[in-house]
Structure 1
Amino acid sequence: MASSQPLDSTYTTAQMEVTVSTTEDRRFEVLRALVADYVATQEPIGSKAIVERHNLGVSSATVRNDMAVLEAEGYITQPHTSSGRIPTDKGYRLFVDRIADVKPLSAAERRAIMSFLETGVDLDDVLRRGVRLLAQLTRQVAVVQYPTLSASSVRHIEVVALTPARLLLVLITDSGRVDQRIVELGDVIDDDSLSRLRTLLGGALEGKRLAAASVAVAELADDAPDDLRDVVVRTSTTLIETLVEHPEERLVLGGTSNLTANAADFAALAGFPGSLRSVLEALEEQVVVLKLIAATQETGRVTVRIGEETMAPEMRGASVVSTAYGSGGNILGGLGVLGPTRMDYPGTIASVAAVARYIGEVLAER
């Protein structure tokens, strides 16, 4: 008898550990069911609805008890008296963190995406197509960042004489970005001088990262032949302006109307930071969104920021799902989706990852 107590105690402790684990798993299943139903219906969810729609193998009373615990722990909340519950940002975070498998796109869907992007005529067209496609797939606002100049190299510089005294400079980067600038010479230039200028610029720029290229082109005038010095100074000045980052030109947006279609999700924050109006203003100004998208630094890894995790008061009512796109280990930029915290996270994550992958592949082939 004396030895039976430790054995009983050991058995009881192990049994309790299994019970706790099982209870926690069941509560997460309740949370997952609640999130799925709320995303689909936009209505607070009650225990009876969860029991009827999901095969959890427990009674309505058990689900009510689990919901009470989830509410006490801050994962769900009751928006109105005598109503069901809705997920909180904390609840969404737990749900996202425990997404085990993201359903991959079908072969037909992948082919359709690749075909749609491949028909883009240039970088601008590819990015516009990518944004439009991502907005359609997720029914949210899609955002794509232009390839960052600091990560790009000069593939080719072309110099074309429009008139004997006016040149067209065409700068092409390895990311597919094309910039065109007009240079007024103030004097005429013959074919031989034009050829020498083209050789000088190509030797100074091609193959260099844009930061290094801007330094190299700035130094060209010092070593330029006397008869080309004025032309080199004029073209170098124009090129340096082209090689400098222009943050205001670096985002492409699509599907803004999808955000306004979900106005009810922001109703509780009307007039406050995180409301629909403040999110739309942030989209228009682009700075906050650019910061969130550009923060993604790893291709193949999708980042989800929910509500206050964006660290931007104006985005408090929204979530941002983002990743980087690029090729050969070279990150060109970021892309993602912005929408209310009530969104289809598994589907959105899959769509963001797929579109980023295929944009990178298309740009790598150009």
Structure 2
Amino acid sequence: MSEPRRLEVLRAIVEDYVHSREPVGSKALVERHQLGVSSATIRNDMAVLEEEGLITAPHTSSGRIPTDKGYRLFVDQISEVKPLSAAEKRAIQALLEEAEDLDDVMDRTVRLLSHLTNQVAVVQYPHLGSAAVRHLEFVLLAPNQVLVVLIATNGAVQQRVVPLPEPVPESTLAEVRQHFLGSVAGTKLTSLPQELALAVAALSFQQRRVGTVLARTLEQLAGINRDDRIVMAGTANLARSTVDFPLSIGPVLEALEEQVVMLRLLSEMKQDAFGVSVRIGRENPHGGLAEASVIATGYGPDSLAKVGVLGPTRMDYPTSMSAVRAVARYLSRILTD
């Protein structure tokens, strides 16, 4: 059996099984694919693939299905990730650009990715540790009440209404805001407390009381850490794939609910030459995901936060890899513009 034909037969089995959910026989392969050999030759090739642990026969069926090892070889042999269509790209761009804030961006991202792949989509909030101050805004709501807004370079928008110790004219508030912005614009959120302390010290005596309150609020907003939070959509897609989880779909759902499991998995996934990472079946360290596959990639300026999909091992890997990579690129662009 030649190596190229072995890979071609495996590819055909994977593609047919992904689309039909039915074990694939040699006759079907000959009819659907231009393999250039007889059904008997294909049967021999399938026997070799089975001996190598790349395909297996479920129950007593004459057809074969890929194993985790087979899916892994198939994914590793993908020569290129096909691009999305122009219409899909326009839809992604339009949907994400209409988002009002970071929470809306995250929500739209997972709904879009779930729709494109028919899998469960997950996105990790961008890491605030590497983000910096992009903009500050103080909005006077009443003589002694201010809306404090902190906008970070990763797209995060945090805001809070705070009472002031005394009524403040709008001109004074504008002066404090301008002073703070000039002092801390571009400062990493992790260094914001130190820079704000210096900025407060440089205020006039009359501005210092209100400046202290505003600085304390900005510190609190900068400290709201979303690194340990993920958003997901499309869990209902798993319910339509129960046949792909012969043992039980329960452990998969439990792993999704335990965000620490997903966060640990996403943080451990390293990207390949295509800029994506694929964990198949028992390659996932968490036992509950032994019948699932996860495709993910990093996004944002540092690519530390991840976006991806989770579904059964019987997954359309090329399409899912393409969608994950495309959505991540648009997400990065939206957050850095």
State the TM-score, normalized to the length of structure 2. Answer: 0.89
- Note the 1:308-319 alignment, pairs <5 A: 308-319=282-293
Contact 1:319 1:341 in 2 (8 A): yes
What is aligned with 1:15?
Answer: none
What is aligned with 1:293?
Answer: 266
Distance (whole Å) between structure 1 residues aligned to residue 175 and residue 82 of structure 2:
57
Unaligned runs of 5+ in 1: 1-21, 271-275
- 1:331 pairs with 272, 291, 303, which one? 303
The answer to whether 1:321 aligns with 2:300 is no
Contact 2:101 2:155 in 1 (8 A): yes
Distance (whole Å) between structure 2 residues aligned to residue 156 and residue 231 of structure 1:
19
User: Alpha-carbon deviation of 1:296?
Assistant: 5.7
Contact 2:125 2:226 in 1 (8 A): no
Distance (whole Å) between structure 2 residues aligned to residue 129 and residue 333 of structure 1:
16
- Note the 1:191-210 alignment, pairs <5 A: 191=170, 193-210=172-189
What is aligned with 1:362?
Answer: 334
User: Alpha-carbon deviation of 1:235?
Assistant: 2.9
Change (3 A) 1:281 1:157: same
What is aligned with 1:151?
Answer: 130
Change (3 A) 1:296 1:213: farther
Distance (whole Å) between structure 1 residues aligned to residue 171 and residue 4 of structure 2:
78
- How many percent of aligned residue pairs carry the same amino acid? 51
State the TM-score, normalized to the length of structure 1. Answer: 0.82
Distance (whole Å) between structure 2 residues aligned to residue 303 and residue 70 of structure 1:
25
Contact 1:266 1:340 in 2 (8 A): yes
Contact 1:204 1:213 in 2 (8 A): no
Contact 2:13 2:24 in 1 (8 A): yes
User: Alpha-carbon deviation of 1:305?
Assistant: 1.2
- Note the 1:10-159 alignment, pairs <5 A: 23-159=2-138
Answer with 1 or 2: which has the greater Rg.
Answer: 1
Contact 1:300 1:323 in 2 (8 A): no
Aligned residues: 336
Cα root mean square deviation, aligned = 2.6
Contact 1:102 1:350 in 2 (8 A): yes
Q: Which runs of 4+ in 1 moved over 4 A?
A: 218-230, 294-300
Contact 2:128 2:226 in 1 (8 A): no
User: Alpha-carbon deviation of 1:337?
Assistant: 1.0
Distance (whole Å) between structure 2 residues aligned to residue 291 and residue 209 of structure 1:
25
- Note the 1:230-269 alignment, pairs <5 A: 230-247=209-226, 250-268=229-247
Instruction: Looking at secondary structure, tell me which structure has more helix per residue.
Output: 1
Distance (whole Å) between structure 1 residues aligned to residue 53 and residue 95 of structure 2:
43
Contact 1:300 1:357 in 2 (8 A): no
Distance (whole Å) between structure 1 residues aligned to residue 336 and residue 61 of structure 2:
56
- 1:303 pairs with 271, 277, 281, which one? 277
Unaligned runs of 5+ in 2: none
Contact 1:321 1:352 in 2 (8 A): yes
67-76 or 341-350: bigger deviation: 67-76
